[in-house]
A and B are shown apart, each in its own frame.
Chain A
Amino acid sequence: MKIDRRSFLSLAAGVAAGTALTPLPLKLTDDLSIWTQTFRYMPNEVPVPPDGAVSVATSVCSLCPGGCGISVRKIDNRAVKIEGRQGYPVNNGGICTLGLAGLQLLYGPWRVQEPLKKKEGGFEKISWDQALSEISGRLNDLRRNGKSPSVAAITGAGQNTTGRLLQRFLTVFGSPHFIRIPAVDDSLAFAAGRMLGTAGVPAFDFENSSYVLSFGSGLLDGWGSPVRMFQAHSRWKENGATLVQVEARLSNTAAKADVWVPVKPGTEATLALGLAHVIVRDGLHDPAIEAAGKAFDAFRELLKSRYAPGAVARQTGVEEPKIEKLARDFARSPRPVAVCGKGAGQDPVESLEAMAVLALNALAGGFNRSGGVRINAAPDYIHWPEPEGSAAQKSNGTRLDVHRLPELINGGAQPPVQALFVMEANPLFTLHGAPALAGAVDKIPLVVSLSSYMDETAAAADYVLPVHAYLERYEDVLITAGLKEPLVGLSRPVVKPKFGSRHAGDVLIDLARAMGDDVAAAFPWENFEDCLKQTMADKWDVLSDQGYLAETGPEIPAGGMNFAALVESAELQPPGQGENGAWPLTLIPYDSMRLWGGHIGTPPFVLKTVADTVLKQADVFVEVNPVTAERYHLADGRPAFLETPAGKARVRVHVTDGIAPDVIAMPRGLGHAAYDDYLAEKGVNINALIGPVEDPVSGLDVAWGVKAKLTTA
């Protein structure tokens, strides 16, 4: 039978009639409508997370030295919200942007998920057993060949149990090169050691101060324990306290201060001593200090000869009457306090500056009184038996400063460092002269990074050993960051580890075990948790129950302050750099609560809060005063080349009155090469443009500003 037009139409009619008699039209319509509602397979699909039991876990945030208590809301084993912990002594319920965005550091795509080994053009995944046996094998080879002192370790973890385990590992291995990334605390402790005989960290009682004199400290830009500083700021408003910010840039702190004193970068110590001059000259100082202090006359002589207001005004750019007024206001205020540590306080300062600040506090009678300062000896709760046998050998070597690494490595034919461990630190990004350090690290035959993230240093390592993220692990957190009373906080696992990571402490214990004999014997603990509990011993219960331990040591009186150390430092201090035609500007970095310049990369949520006068797409802005802009023909928003003796970069110009003429400023924390798409290749790493500057007294790298020039692109 032939199908003609009529039969075909009839067939179609039959199909239509038949279809109408089936559930298909209704069902298909319904299914399609649900499909459109859920929009699976679309890139913008909003995931609906699974349901589960709600619980709240408490811990301590260890993302910055602040050590805030946190409460983490969980659904089953999933952390969904981080909040400040109510009643915790540091932050009492407060939290900062980074702490709030911490979940992205837990679940972010840049976590290292299993041990990696460098191979041609990338990394290959290897097992923990293989990684540890290969590394321990190479270390044992070095040891057998008498090259123990050629092993170095860099860490940001410092003095807590994990940091001390790394230090112990190096010691029993026979190397003195345990390097902590230094911060302003080290400068202050050094100054306190020289002037007071105890290298303790000063604690500032900001809350009760009546007059806060800050030498460039970003008290509201991430300095010390940031959340605590915000709360202290509220107290100042309530109490009518005065905040004076000495800084060339209108930072958040300067903007909120009662008095903003723009000063030439690098002359903070001069200004501090200029103020001391006025105080001593006018007899406004605490007489007890003069009576008991050592070498006070030499100090008075120094102030008289070198720090008269006229000379100080010329060097610092602060007018003479202003210096006089500042000095008198400071000294006459009932409970004044002076503080230093630029930006977030993550950089050491010149010894002279740290000493001058201690001296100012002493002159104001601020030691050991409410609203003043007290020096706390480093908390002392880690007591392990001395290692025995060959591990007990005293290593004969000198301290290695991290900023010296390039010099040392590039100097000799064979790198003096044969193996480098990096733990919870990202020196290839955070240290001044980062590119030179990267070149040097490249020459070290064995580089091991213990890191949760694929940061710049991990990317350059031969082995990356993934450690638990901060919400997955136990950690004693030493909170000294300027707190009134130093605390030991307890970070504890909030969620089960998500990937194949391990605790850094466990890695060190396992590595020691793999190395055998006396090295293994010096690490007798079953695992890190066991080690921590044994270390804390009878303090563990309190630490575990309340989440912190107050570790206040005995008071150190300021009466016997030795001013000779200060006078000596002033003699050693090189004269300030003069005008230099080739480099007419001074570039300074700045910190803020929206960008994190430390070893933790800024998570996407926080990066979203950065204004587009700081970062626009991939371009970073350099702040330029209108006067400077006019002189060098720079227009707002236009691209420019920024050049320093250390390097060159393409930037954009942001013309603003919030920066002194001839000074230009750029944020820290941008210009990552590693991490993820959100952070990498955005802006410029300012640390690559600044070379290290060694303090002649402490030997620490104290670079802050650098000579620079800016030309239109």
Chain B
Amino acid sequence: MDTTDDKCKCDAGEAAGGEETGVSKVSQDKGLLAVILAFLAGLGIALAVGWVVYPALLYSEQEQPVQFNHELHMAEVPDGCESCHFFREDGTFSGVPTLDQCRDCHESAIGESEEELKFVEEYMEKDQEVPWLIYSRQPDCVFFSHAAHVLKAGMSCEACHGPIGESTSLKTYQENRITGYSRDIWGEDLTGIFKKNPWDSMKMDDCARCHDKETGSKGACFQCHK
């Protein structure tokens, strides 16, 4: 023990710059403080990086090419979501509408809003599809069938996509710089702990959780990864 103590003092003395033994107590306290401060500083930096800097760096932000009001359209169309996001005859899902679905009403501009003019002039008249940024696009290795979920299992659109139909504008699209996918797949909340609604995130675990609950099994790999 003694030896250890001696060594300790000796070290502390050295650390304090080889001062007299009487002063070494103070330097010891100081040393401890420095260690604690350093720890706290490290902790602070890491927390800041992890919670603030990293998310800010990770995602790039982009606005949609044209703004769109779901709520307004829902009031006009006959069949709710399915009016524009429909199933084709062969059972495949059309996904994001193409100009063909817009043409009937928007062949020429309705009203004078800036976005409407932009849509008609730049896309409709040039017969150029709008390069929509898709919040829900899954990685290329994932195969997902809307028909199995909506037509077979009778799920509603909201069950996974949330109350998108009530939105009045399209939010800023955030793209993960590393993966190239939308932030909505992982979810707004980076911890994944505070998830409230099913549509808050749509990672593989989210699929598995729901499958486990509804079918009693998380499912096999090849169900989604072909």
Residues in chain A within 8 A of chain B (CB atoms): 1-4, 6-8, 10-19, 21-24, 26-28, 30-32, 34-35, 37-38, 40, 48, 51, 53-54, 76
30 sampled A-B residue pairs with Cβ under 8 A: A3-B38, A4-B15, A6-B15, A7-B38, A10-B35, A10-B38, A11-B42, A13-B39, A14-B38, A14-B41, A14-B43, A14-B45, A15-B42, A15-B43, A16-B46, A19-B46, A19-B49, A21-B50, A22-B46, A24-B49, A31-B58, A34-B179, A34-B181, A37-B139, A37-B141, A38-B141, A40-B180, A51-B95, A54-B88, A54-B90
* Contact in complex: A34, B178 (CB < 8 Å): yes
Residues of A within 8 A of B36 (CB): 10
- Complex-state Cα separation, A1 to B37, whole angstroms: 11
Residues of A within 8 A of B162 (CB): none
* Contact in complex: B140, A48 (CB < 8 Å): yes
Residues of A within 8 A of B40 (CB): 14
Chain A residue nearest to B11 in the complex (CB): A6
Category for how many chain B residues contact A: 35 or more
In-complex Cβ contact of A22 among B54, B58, B139 (8 A): B54
Chain B residue nearest to A3 in the complex (CB): B38
- Complex-state Cα separation, A18 to B41, whole angstroms: 10
Residues of B within 8 A of A2 (CB): 34
Instruction: Give B182 Cβ to nearest chain A Cβ, in Å.
Output: 12
- Complex-state Cα separation, A627 to B34, whole angstroms: 95
Chain A residue nearest to B88 in the complex (CB): A53
B172 contacts partner chain A, Cβ-Cβ < 8 Å: no
Instruction: Give A23 Cβ to nearest chain B Cβ, in Å.
Output: 4
* Contact in complex: A17, B43 (CB < 8 Å): yes
Contact digits for B178-199, partner A, Cβ 8 Å, 1 yes 0 no: 1111000010001110000000
- Complex-state Cα separation, A8 to B36, whole angstroms: 11
SS class, residues of chain A in contact with chain B: helix
B92 contacts partner chain A, Cβ-Cβ < 8 Å: yes
* Contact in complex: A34, B139 (CB < 8 Å): yes
**A14-B38, A76-B98 are known contacts; what are 17 more A-B pairs with Cβ within 8 Å?**
A2-B34, A3-B38, A7-B34, A10-B35, A10-B38, A14-B39, A15-B42, A18-B47, A19-B46, A19-B49, A21-B47, A27-B54, A27-B58, A31-B176, A32-B178, A38-B179, A53-B92
Residues of B within 8 A of A11 (CB): 38-39, 41-42
- Complex-state Cα separation, A38 to B47, whole angstroms: 30
- Complex-state Cα separation, A34 to B42, whole angstroms: 29
Give the top 5 A-B pairs by smallest Cβ distance, nearest first: A22-B50, A14-B42, A18-B46, A23-B190, A7-B38
Most B CB within 10 A of own CB, among A10, A19, A30, A53 = A10
In-complex Cβ contact of A18 among B38, B45, B90, B191 (8 A): B45
In-complex Cβ contact of B179 among A4, A13, A31, A51 (8 A): A31
- B131-167 interface with A by 8 A CB criterion: 139-141
SS class, residues of chain B in contact with chain A: helix
Residues of B within 8 A of A37 (CB): 139, 141
Residues of B within 8 A of A30 (CB): 186
* Contact in complex: B42, A13 (CB < 8 Å): yes
Residues of B within 8 A of A7 (CB): 34-35, 37-38
Residues of B within 8 A of A3 (CB): 34, 38
Chain B residue nearest to A23 in the complex (CB): B190
- Complex-state Cα separation, A2 to B98, whole angstroms: 65
Chain A residue nearest to B17 in the complex (CB): A2
Chain A residue nearest to B52 in the complex (CB): A22
In-complex Cβ contact of A6 among B31, B95, B190 (8 A): B31
State whether A15 and B46 are in contact (beta carbons under 8 Å apart), knowing that A27-B190, A31-B179, A40-B180 are contacts in the complex: yes
* Contact in complex: A18, B92 (CB < 8 Å): no
Residues of B within 8 A of A24 (CB): 49-50, 54
B94 contacts partner chain A, Cβ-Cβ < 8 Å: yes
Count of inter-chain pairs, beta carbons less than 8 A: 114
* Contact in complex: A6, B46 (CB < 8 Å): no
* Contact in complex: A22, B43 (CB < 8 Å): no
- Complex-state Cα separation, A7 to B37, whole angstroms: 8
- Complex-state Cα separation, A6 to B49, whole angstroms: 23
B44 contacts partner chain A, Cβ-Cβ < 8 Å: yes
Residues of B within 8 A of A27 (CB): 54, 58, 186, 190
Residues in chain B within 8 A of chain A (CB atoms): 15, 31, 34-47, 49-51, 54, 58, 88, 90, 92, 94-95, 98, 139-141, 176, 178-181, 186, 190-192
Instruction: Give B212 Cβ to nearest chain A Cβ, in Å.
Output: 20
- Complex-state Cα separation, A13 to B39, whole angstroms: 6
Instruction: Give B26 Cβ to nearest chain A Cβ, in Å.
Output: 14
Residues of A within 8 A of B31 (CB): 4, 6
- Complex-state Cα separation, A37 to B181, whole angstroms: 12
Chain A residue nearest to B204 in the complex (CB): A30
Chain B residue nearest to A21 in the complex (CB): B47
* Contact in complex: A22, B49 (CB < 8 Å): yes
State whether A23 and B192 are in contact (beta carbons under 8 Å apart), knowing that A14-B42, A31-B179, A34-B179 are contacts in the complex: yes
- Complex-state Cα separation, A38 to B139, whole angstroms: 8
Residues of B within 8 A of A35 (CB): 178-179
Residues of B within 8 A of A48 (CB): 140
Instruction: Give A55 Cβ to nearest chain B Cβ, in Å.
Output: 10
Residues of A within 8 A of B43 (CB): 14-15, 17-18, 21
* Contact in complex: B39, A22 (CB < 8 Å): no
Residues of A within 8 A of B192 (CB): 23, 26
Residues of B within 8 A of A4 (CB): 15, 31, 34
Instruction: Give B133 Cβ to nearest chain A Cβ, in Å.
Output: 14
Residues of B within 8 A of A1 (CB): 34, 37
Instruction: Give A33 Cβ to nearest chain B Cβ, in Å.
Output: 9
* Contact in complex: B180, A8 (CB < 8 Å): no
* Contact in complex: B139, A12 (CB < 8 Å): no
- Complex-state Cα separation, A51 to B90, whole angstroms: 13
- Complex-state Cα separation, A17 to B47, whole angstroms: 9
* Contact in complex: B54, A12 (CB < 8 Å): no
Residues of B within 8 A of A14 (CB): 38-46
- Complex-state Cα separation, A40 to B41, whole angstroms: 38
Residues of B within 8 A of A18 (CB): 42-47, 50
- Complex-state Cα separation, A688 to B212, whole angstroms: 70
- Complex-state Cα separation, A275 to B9, whole angstroms: 120
* Contact in complex: A10, B39 (CB < 8 Å): yes
- Complex-state Cα separation, A4 to B37, whole angstroms: 12
Chain A residue nearest to B47 in the complex (CB): A18
- Complex-state Cα separation, A30 to B34, whole angstroms: 36
- Complex-state Cα separation, A28 to B50, whole angstroms: 10
- Complex-state Cα separation, A11 to B42, whole angstroms: 5
Residues of A within 8 A of B186 (CB): 27, 30
Chain A residue nearest to B32 in the complex (CB): A6
Residues of B within 8 A of A40 (CB): 180
- Complex-state Cα separation, A346 to B139, whole angstroms: 50
Residues of A within 8 A of B95 (CB): 51
- Complex-state Cα separation, A629 to B190, whole angstroms: 75
Chain B residue nearest to A47 in the complex (CB): B140
Residues of A within 8 A of B49 (CB): 19, 22, 24
Most B CB within 10 A of own CB, among A1, A15, A21 = A15
Chain B residue nearest to A13 in the complex (CB): B39
Most B CB within 10 A of own CB, among A14, A23, A37 = A14
Residues of A within 8 A of B141 (CB): 37-38
* Contact in complex: A23, B38 (CB < 8 Å): no
Residues of A within 8 A of B191 (CB): 23
- Complex-state Cα separation, A28 to B179, whole angstroms: 10
Instruction: Give A10 Cβ to nearest chain B Cβ, in Å.
Output: 4
Residues of B within 8 A of A16 (CB): 42, 46
Instruction: Give A467 Cβ to nearest chain B Cβ, in Å.
Output: 22
Residues of A within 8 A of B90 (CB): 54
* Contact in complex: B34, A17 (CB < 8 Å): no
* Contact in complex: B178, A22 (CB < 8 Å): no
- Complex-state Cα separation, A509 to B139, whole angstroms: 49
Residues of A within 8 A of B39 (CB): 10-11, 13-14, 17
* Contact in complex: B50, A54 (CB < 8 Å): no
